[in-house]
Structure 1
Amino acid sequence: MKILVVDDDAINRLVLRKLFEKEQHTVLTAENGVEALSILMMEDDVHIVITDIMMPEMDGIELLAEIKLNDRINKLPIIGFTAGDIDYFRSITPVSFDRLLPKPMNFHELYDITHQFVAQRAV
């Protein structure tokens, strides 16, 4: 499985990278939505995007919207996470994340959720 992790927090990127690489998955990382879109345009086989919502340059909501507008990548499952108010972000987001999780995250729960989405997509 190839995962794109998008977060401006280097520690979160590192923890998520190690969690998935421990199980032999490929992890790409980006510090913001602009970098994430660039990666998605170059990589053909990303299976899922895990993104923070609050980031500089392009936040997770803008990234979600850009992905959903692009016919080549709009079927990618996208898991969002935030330290902010989840209900608020659900109410202002024009399109929905496949899953929206609160920070601090249970990284093992996120791992399980990620696997479920990729397995469902493979069916």
Structure 2
Amino acid sequence: MKVLLVDDDLIHLTILRRIFEKSNDEVVTARNGKEALRCLEFDPGFQVILTDIMMPEMDGVELLEHIRECDSTKDIPTIGFTSGDVEFFRKQTSEHFDQLVAKPMDFYDLYALARSSARAAIN
């Protein structure tokens, strides 16, 4: 599975990257939405995107809007996570995340959610 991980927290990125790499998944990381968009412009072939919501420069909500506007990325399952109010972000976004979860979260649960979302998109 090819995964794009987007988070400004280096510790979260490192933990998630290691979990995915243990299963031999290909992992690309970005520290904010702008970096993630550059990754997607270069290679839109990701099977799932996991993104923090609250980040500097471009947050996860704005990133999601760009993802959904582009024909080459609009169908990629996108999972958002936040330490903020999950219901607020659900109401705030005109485009919806495939899943939106609260921090702190179990990283292995997030991994399982990403894997099931990617499989569902294939079928």
Q: Same fold (TM over 0.5)?
A: yes
Residue 121 of structure 2 corresponds to 121
Q: Do structure 1's residue 102 and structure 2's residue 85 form an aligned pair? A: no
Give the alignment's TM-score, normalised by structure 2.
0.98
Residue 22 of structure 2 corresponds to 22
User: Please, what is the CA RMSD of the aligned residues?
Assistant: 0.7
Which residues of structure 1 form unaligned runs of 5+?
Answer: none
Cα shift at 1:45: 2.0
Measured in 2, the distance between the counterparts of 1:45 and 1:80 equals 19
Structure 2 counterpart SS, 1:95: coil
Q: Do structure 1's residue 35 and structure 2's residue 46 form an aligned pair? A: no
Structure 2 counterpart SS, 1:56: coil
Measured in 2, the distance between the counterparts of 1:24 and 1:40 equals 21
Aligned letter for 1:11?
A: I
Measured in 2, the distance between the counterparts of 1:89 and 1:119 equals 25
Aligned letter for 1:64?
A: L
Percent identity at matched positions?
A: 46
Residue 70 of structure 2 corresponds to 70
Measured in 2, the distance between the counterparts of 1:44 and 1:72 equals 6
Cα shift at 1:44: 3.8
Aligned letter for 1:63?
A: L
How many residue pairs match? The answer is: 123
Aligned letter for 1:68?
A: R
Measured in 1, the distance between the counterparts of 2:100 and 2:44 equals 24
Residue 112 of structure 1 corresponds to 112
Give the alignment's TM-score, normalised by structure 1.
0.98
Which residues of structure 2 form unaligned runs of 5+?
Answer: none
Structure 2 counterpart SS, 1:65: helix
Alignment check: 8 A CA contact 2:44 2:72 kept: no
Give every structure 1 segment of 4 or more consecutive aligned residues whose post-TM-superposition deviation is greater than 4 Å.
Answer: none
